[in-house]
Amino acid sequence: MTLARYLIRRVCHSIPTLIGALLFIFILVRVLPGDPARLIAGPEALEEDVQRIREQLGLNKPIYIQFVDYVSTILRGDFGRSIKFGTPVINEILFRLPYTIALALVAEVIAVSVALPLGILSALKPNSKVSYITSVISLIGASTPSFWIALILIYVFSVSLKLLPSSGAESPRHIVLPAITLSLLLMGNLTRITRSSVIEVLSSNHVLTAVAKGLKDRVVIMRHVLKNALIPIITIMGLQVGNLLGGAIITETVFAWPGIGSLLIDAIFFRDYILIQGIILFMVLTFIIINIVVDVIYAYVDPRIRDVLWRMS
């Protein structure tokens, strides 16, 4: 009951942010040098054609009216038409979205299956081999440029060993290298956060109480350490979607993986500003929505927050 209320409250809170983001994206494109109408029309077009296009796009109206128009078209789900392809932007995005989602999911699965166990073990056994490996992995993930790691992986696995393909998305094997690259990025952060979260919970007082009761070590760890540590970890995992989106842009570009990340870069090089605008908007929207979802899950999981909400409503 109250969770729904919290959800609505969070959504309302996000609306001004969303509008701000829309404004920012809107200005982004308008600030660009060059005349968008001419760009669309092409360098050989006649002046009246350019003028016609300008009127079509409403580019001669005052700027605030343009913004309002922009917002209302967005609300209708119309992200405009791509300059390069001529097709609706939203179609382009939706067509390539599944690829990005697939890549993101596989990368996340890999990252979580490696990072969580390693993080937990290295927190429980500091100064051990596990701890060392974990540090190394987390440092690699956090300090190496992902485009470089991608190229190295390509060199080793595609060129030298000829084991895995390096570009495109024709077969399931094609997802391996890009997913590993992306997951390394995530792992860097996730191992560190997992480990520090567990360490922090380990040194908290309620764990001492649990030990003082005479509970078995395993029980203490499972009940009083991990469950408590998992709460912030899950929150961070949700926020990692931002890293996923950003990292996907580079990974998809290097591996020519046909997702929305590489679509953005293509759009940038085609100077297809409407497409650029649309993709950025889409990504921001996704990020905002995921943040809201994460907040709600967090509120559900932590009884303290649940009660604060109950009292607030």
Partner 1 sequence: MEKVLEVVDLRVYYEIPQGTVKAVDGVDLDVFKGEILGVAGESGSGKSTLALTIAGLLRPPAKVVSGKVLFKGVDILKLGNDELRSIRGRKIGIIFQDPVTYLNPIYTVGFQVGEVFEAHRGGKVSKYFSEVINLFKAVRIGDPERRVYTYPHQLSGGMKQRVLISMAIAEKPELIVADEPTSALDVTIQAEIVELLNEIRKELNTSVVFITHDLALLLEIADRIAVMYAGKLVEVGRAYEIYKDPLHPYTKALISTLRYERKKRPTPIKGSIPSLINPPPGCRFHPRCPYVMPKCSQVDPKLSSVGGRLVSCLLVGDGGGGS
Partner 2 sequence: MEDELILKKVSEARRKQLTSMWVVFKSNRVAYASLYVLAGILLLVVIGFIYTPYNPYEFDLSKARQPPSPQHLLGTDELGRDILSRLMVGGRYTVGISFISVLLGSLIGSILGLISGFFGGRVDTVIQRVVDVALAFPTSLLAIALMVSLGPGVLSLIMAISISTFPVYTRLVRGVVLQVINEDYIAAVKLLGRSSWYIIFKHVLPNVSSPIIVQTSYYLGFSILLASALGFLGLGIPPPTPEWGSMVGTGRVYLFSSPHIVVFPGLFITATALSFNLIGDGLRDALDPKSRMFLRRF
Q: Are 153 and 227 in contact (CB under 8 A)?
A: no
Indicate which single residue of 143, 162, 214, 303 sits in contact with partner 2 (rule: CB under 8 A).
Answer: 143
DSSP 225: I
274 part of the interface to partner 2, by CB under 8 A: no
Residues 57, 280, 301, 308: which binds partner 2 (CB under 8 A)? 280
Give the separation between CA 144 and CA 153, rounded to whole angstroms. Answer: 13
With CB under 8 A as the contact rule, the residue among 180, 184, 186, 284 that binds partner 2 is 284
Using CB under 8 A, which of 110, 137, 249, 263 touches partner 2? 249
Burial class (CB in 10 A: 0-12, 13-18, 19+), 61: middle
Answer yes or no whether residue 126 interacts with partner 2 by CB under 8 A: yes
Which of 54, 195 has the CB closer to partner 2?
195
Q: Which of 4, 5, 8, 20 binds partner 2 (CB under 8 A)?
A: 20
CB contact at 8 A, 248 and 59: no
- What is the rounded CA–CA span in Å between residue 263 and residue 113? 29
88: helix, coil or strand? Answer: strand
The site partner of 184 among partner 2, partner 1, none (C-beta below 5 to 8 Å per kind) is none
- For partner 2, which residue of 71, 164, 234, 288 counts as binding (CB under 8 A)? 288
Radius of gyration of the chain (CA): 24
CB closer to partner 1 out of 81 and 224 = 224
CB atoms within 10 A of CB 233: 21
Distance CA 247, CA 114 (A): 18
Which positions touch partner 2 (CB under 8 A)?
Answer: 16-18, 20-21, 24-25, 27-29, 31-33, 124-126, 139, 142-148, 151-152, 154-155, 159, 196, 199-200, 202-203, 207, 211, 217, 220-221, 241-243, 245-247, 249-250, 253-254, 264-265, 268-269, 276, 280, 283-284, 287-288, 291
